[in-house]
Amino acid sequence: MKIYLATRNAHKIAEITAALPDQVQFLSLDDIPCTDELPETGDTIPANSLQKAQYIWDNYRVACLSDDSGLEIEALGGKPGVHSAHYAGTRDFDKNMAAVLQEIPEGASRRAIFKTVMTLIIAGEVHQFEGTVAGEILPAKRGTQGFGYDPIFLPDGHEKTFAEMTTTEKNAISHRNRALQKLIAFLRTNTI
């Protein structure tokens, strides 16, 4: 089975393809070829994930998998959430992290949840899989691995931020991996 990944983010592609069964061949948008900018105008993470997959299905009629992720911080009322990738008005995650750290009020809860929602469309049928991991936002960055908000996110029960973990360590507990495990279980029982 061939499934097209509705992303150009090399980090996401690597994490997803490393975890999924060999019986599924994952292709990129370049293999369609699709050079369009995928829409992301939903007001929730699940809506954005669905919107991207639906665009690929509607325009190319191929099985596709999209995901959308966000960091939801308790003290910020769930922000940056669906706007995580461009929270400071740019896709520069150093600026996004700085904005988040500046906005958390002193003494406020630093509890946060990383959330991923994956949307799979096969033969027009939509399936969504959610994964979350809870933790806290550190007052300063630690580590150089990963991407996004990884340097300021310390998952519960761990002493390393996502950015201090190896890819293998992060993938074992990440929100994306938790959604992936649900997707893998679905693929094994329904399509492979």
For the domain that residue 12 is a member of, what is the CATH number? 3.90.950.10
pLDDT in tens, 133-184: 999 999 999 999 888 999 999 999 999 999 999 988 998 899 988 998 999 8
- Report the pLDDT value the prediction gives residue 7, as an integer from 0 to 100: 79
Which residue of the set 68, 92, 150, 156 is catalytic?
68
pTM comes to 0.88
Rounded CA separation 171/125 (Å): 28
Split into its structural domains, the chain has a count of 1
Tell me the three-class secondary structure of 69-100, residue by residue.
EEEEEHHHCCCEHHHHHHCCCCCCHHHHHHHH
The yes-or-no answer on residue 68 being catalytic is yes
Domain that holds residue 149: 2-190
**24, pLDDT greater than 80:** no
pLDDT in tens, 159-168: 999 999 998 8
- Report the pLDDT value the prediction gives residue 21, as an integer from 0 to 100: 67
**18, pLDDT greater than 80:** no
Of 57, 30, 54, which is closest to residue 40 (Cα–Cα)? 54
